[in-house]
Structure 1
């Protein structure tokens, strides 16, 4: 190797370190667009390129986004532009390409020529995230040609950039999903907070604009064989529009929505949307969704935009919003029809408010049962959720004065009775006392007689057309029968409860995902520190012992390099499971990062912590891990530290001492346990 080559290698290594410093710190601080811009700027700096271009395929929106380093210019590419020239060749071949002027785009302008029309030399390489192709990274020059050394440097930058961009996109997608879940919950709360039909109709379009902004929007309700516009936004003559009634059979879009009961997306290239949906101006994109109640189309919801191009994901969002809107509209209709004769409608409203404000799924379920018991003259109320495919009960909640008389049942007993019938038929029913009901099986009928049950009402709990449980009100034999008004009220509360239960479940799921590592199922770094800080504060307050462990897999890089990241992921999942089994339920286990795992052991002194650490080490090392390439022996280095009031004011300080002990183990050859207290004497 010549001195010049050696100097270039040193310079390239220094440049790559600068590139790493530029982009690695931006994962949790910048939006994805800003991350892309800094990747492009970094490439321009390292390769002294006139222009660098990052092309990303966004899986959430379906857009192809190209970003240049200079001034952070961002362009939306067509598929033809993506596949033109070197970017298309890289996408097809999945390999790095160095090209001169003669090999560049012909015909359709490609991504590179969008940013540097007079380009003479280009290198382009794939961007991958967890082995999946997510885009391309290109560098272009007007004069200086690139060589193979430049290509190798670009590949090295692309390897790191792909991971950073991939994680940034995943983080941004998760944040967007959380914001969407929060928005849907808040908007649904607004719609369901009133049972006045006029208020609901107006609130639907107001809420829809928060979920998906548009230039125009309409809400139609079905009246016999036509659709009538009940609310609209963005039209010059809204009053005239609200008087319009459109025949279902005469309008092709309405017919398609009613018959298909699925969303319809129309792009600007299709000339199918009439002015009643999109207004007077030109339309670029249109979404129509049916409003379904009990598997019947009761109305339509449409949005249109002159600028934005709606995606399938956005159509699904409007469809999900439509499910909430349909329930809100149907509830308001039921309320409107029955308010003259139902003295307890105010109770229904208050119960709905309590459900919306429920902070957990368990609290929501109990609120449903208690609300129904208060609103309906029933001796006992029960709420059951079940999984028919698995043939198991998920929740069984009781309420009312006669709650103690409601005996828990098995899935087969409920499925054989009225609950199973209601879930299969999606129909609320009344079953009078002292009369054989053919909708019950013999096992359920015998059980009903044995418990002394009289009249029974059952309403389905369903969301998005899927029944997931039942709400049951019952009286004892000799008590009053239920009437039609009672059933209407129960059904309305079941509809409200279905939304509240789904919202509570969704909220808990979002909270769980926010603090869970998706690969191992352990706490992620955020979730781990949240719980660990509480335990440290409690230990300091009570004076009880607390210990921490840090674990690192010995030779894990060799596993990834030899067998690939898929096998590495299998190893991480197996290790997480063995760690879980080796400790108590009260112990906190989290993925600290990469192949590092952290433990916090409440009320655990040094001697016990050493025993736990040895148990964890042996549980991992005593038996090889089963992987797709066969059994793999895995060893770990473990460092531990005991909480000290003199040195440990934070979880971070405690873990740092355990981490130091762990690295001493690794330096000594690994596969051992070492305590930070050993260093103190």
Structure 2
């Protein structure tokens, strides 16, 4: 199908259309008049035709045509049999333009061939009841139709629909008595309302955004009930605010945005509080004085208000208003409003459930991603940062913080924070401390929570944290830490669902923390001597190599002590291996105590220990060696200590250690507790 060309304004055509008076008398004469006007004002070379359609019975009724030789009956009979383009326009409710029927597929009907139709434009004749027919202009040669011509046809079709509806009314009323006419009017109104309800129900079957669904309902009510104003709102009763507002009706443009306070101050608040619909025909004592005055100022007359509750949860409200002096809503009209409100309520509930489903899927994906990430992290600080980021994203929350603690000493090992703040809470105070001492999560709506201490409350206010959720991190009954999520003051509160999500996060975190600690312990055991707890030879080799490289690079002194237990074999032979182990532990304690924190000491092998002393010359090394001998107070053994310092020509640390080892053997040649 072809698109219309750019609009060409024709002042003469517009003036003729403005002065056109369609006479809604005999329906057939009306159709002939419409076809004649279209032929004359659109310069159709073949003419124009009108085909009418009954939307209730879905049947073609009659036709009119100005095409030479084309009889009404022939047109109607052919269309009844084939439908063709006419049925396509009726079903789509959209115009159709064919600029050349010889090149356009699907346009080779009998009428086209028989009457030499080579181009045509067709528009639906629309009313509130549906499509009443199709208006065509027909040409004998290919032709481009501009947008101005199409707009003229649509306007003429709209005028025709109004006249055809009036003609149908007149024809029906002329054949009935007064009493029967009232029955006919009521039946038509009932059918109109039923059709509107059906259209709204069908439209809501397709998934829209919430505001689109509310728009469908508002438009349906405006069409079915001759309502001046239709207002549909959804509200959040907890946060006390309007979420969506959609308006409809003849005076929709006069409706401004409504606040939560305005809604609750009027009849809407009364209807919500009493969970019942309200019908009011004039300013009502159930409204506040200000709301009554506003109602007078706005010219609001009869109104119906329906609160939309789903079980105990308010989904929103529907308000339908007519102007002052207009008839009250009848019982059938009020029932229609109730039905429309139910449809809107179901649509909103569907959206809510879909949103929950989407959120659950997103939360599941987030939890899976978090679990995978946590299992690959071995650094506790990095792990806490990952947990904080997952918390702010999954809940969501404006901020989050996490702490790993030692409950026995009430110390904090690691902390991480994310979101709008970079400061930390004291995990042992207030609600965080309560969560650490307990086993369940804690919800708090504001700093005024009685569970907060004065310092924790002041800190919370200073950081701008309003609603808060806290969850302890535990594993096998042991407290590992605590996770906090917070929103800014005035933000959305957290609920049990958020606590469940945090519980899932801390469950994964506790497993990951346990794994990290096991890994750290395994690494410690792999690098430590099992008897003394000091670094073993493998660890000493790594540490000594690093110290040597650093000292050599920056030209700083480095010394080594090789410490040997004299006649240790005789201790084992005389007193047994258990006593020998005790002796080695005592010597290890003397070595650890005798060196500085910056020094490294470990078990080099058997009854030998190695100490590496950075930033230490020969004199300092000998002072340290003497201190170790002094601290070793086990009377069953003595020590021999060899001292060596790094030389500029050393190529690796082993050369220095070898010199210390040689010095140690020289010390053993004399009496015990010697330093060489």
Q: TM-score range by the shorter chain?
A: 0.3 to 0.5
Normalised TM-score (structure 2)? 0.43
Normalised TM-score (structure 1)? 0.43
Q: Which has the larger radius of gyration?
A: 2
